[in-house]
Structure 1
Amino acid sequence: MIELGNYNSLTILRSTSVGLFLGDEDVDDLLLPNKYVPDDFEIGDKIDVFCYLDHEERPIATTLKPFIKRNEFGFLRVAEVNDVGAFMDWGLEKHLLVPYGEQRTNLVAGNWQVIYCYLDDKSFRLVGSSRLSKFLNNDSMEISENDEVELLVYRRSELGWDVVVNGRHRGLIFHSDVFQKLAEGDRVKGFVKHIRPDKKLDISLQPIGARALEPAAQMIYQKLMEQGGYLNLHDKSSPEEIKTWFSMSKKTFKKAIGTLYKDHKISIKKDGIYKV
Structure 2
Amino acid sequence: MIRIGDYNTLEIIRESEQGLYLGDGEEKEILLPNRYVPEAFKIWDKIEVFVYLDNEERPVAVTDEPYIIRDDFAMLRCNQVTAHGAFLDWGLVKELFCPFKEQAFKMKAGGWYLVHCYLDDESNRLVASSKTNRFLDNATLTVQEFDEVDLIVSHPSDMGMNVIVNNQHHGLIFNDNIFKDLSVGDRLKGYVKKIRPDNKLDIVLGKIGYRKIEPNADLIVEHLENSRDGFIPLNDKSDPNAIKNELQMSKKTFKKAIGTLYKQRVISIDNDGIRLIN
TM-score of the pair, normalised by structure 1: 0.74
Q: Are 1:32 and 1:60, in contact at CA under 8 Å, matched by a contact in 2?
A: yes
Q: Distance in 1 between matches of 2:49 and 2:122?
A: 25
Q: Are 1:85 and 1:100, in contact at CA under 8 Å, matched by a contact in 2?
A: yes
Q: Are 1:75 and 1:185, in contact at CA under 8 Å, matched by a contact in 2?
A: yes
Residue 263 of structure 2 is matched in structure 1 by none
Shift of 1:139: 1.2
Amino acid aligned to 1:177? N
Residue 118 of structure 2 is matched in structure 1 by 118
Would the alpha carbon gap of residues 81 and 196 (structure 1) be closer, same or farther in structure 2, given more than 3 Å must change?
same
Instruction: Trace 1:221-232 onto structure 2 (pairs within 5 A).
Output: none
Residue 95 of structure 2 is matched in structure 1 by 95
Amino acid aligned to 1:88? L
Q: Distance in 2 between matches of 1:112 and 1:169?
A: 22
Amino acid aligned to 2:18? V
1:4 paired with 2:14, answer no
Amino acid aligned to 1:152? I
Q: Deviations over 1:236-268 (max 9, x none)?
A: xxxxxxxxxxxxxxxxxxxxxxxxxxxxxxxxx
SS in 1 for 2:101: helix
Amino acid aligned to 1:155? H
Question: What CA RMSD, in Å, does the superposition of the two structures yield over aligned residues?
Answer: 1.5
Q: Deviations over 1:104-159 (max 9, x none)?
A: 11111111111111111111101111111110011111211111111000111111
Shift of 1:211: 6.3
Residue 150 of structure 1 is matched in structure 2 by 150
Residue 180 of structure 1 is matched in structure 2 by 180
Residue 55 of structure 2 is matched in structure 1 by 55
Shift of 1:212: 7.3
Shift of 1:209: 4.2
Would the alpha carbon gap of residues 2 and 197 (structure 1) be closer, same or farther in structure 2, given more than 3 Å must change?
same
Q: Deviations over 1:142-197 (max 9, x none)?
A: 21111111100011111111100011110011111100110111111111111111
Residue 72 of structure 1 is matched in structure 2 by 72
Aligned residues: 213
Instruction: Trace 1:121-270 onto structure 2 (pairs within 5 A).
Output: 121-210=121-210
Would the alpha carbon gap of residues 101 and 27 (structure 1) be closer, same or farther in structure 2, given more than 3 Å must change?
farther
Amino acid aligned to 2:70? R
Residue 105 of structure 2 is matched in structure 1 by 105
SS in 2 for 1:134: helix
Q: Distance in 2 between matches of 1:107 and 1:2?
A: 32
Residue segments in structure 2 that go unaligned for 5+ positions in a row: 214-278
Q: Are 1:206 and 1:212, in contact at CA under 8 Å, matched by a contact in 2?
A: no
Q: Distance in 1 between matches of 2:207 and 2:22?
A: 48
Q: Distance in 2 between matches of 1:204 and 1:28?
A: 47
Would the alpha carbon gap of residues 3 and 211 (structure 1) be closer, same or farther in structure 2, given more than 3 Å must change?
farther
Question: What is the aligned-residue identity percentage?
Answer: 51
Would the alpha carbon gap of residues 27 and 155 (structure 1) be closer, same or farther in structure 2, given more than 3 Å must change?
farther
Q: Are 1:2 and 1:27, in contact at CA under 8 Å, matched by a contact in 2?
A: no
Amino acid aligned to 2:142? E
SS in 1 for 2:198: coil
Q: Distance in 2 between matches of 1:2 and 1:19?
A: 18
Shift of 1:24: 2.2
Q: Distance in 2 between matches of 1:149 and 1:190?
A: 5
Shift of 1:26: 2.9
Q: Are 1:21 and 1:28, in contact at CA under 8 Å, matched by a contact in 2?
A: no
Residue segments in structure 1 that go unaligned for 5+ positions in a row: 214-276
Q: Distance in 2 between matches of 1:208 and 1:9?
A: 40
Q: Distance in 1 between matches of 2:154 and 2:108?
A: 16
Residue 262 of structure 1 is matched in structure 2 by none
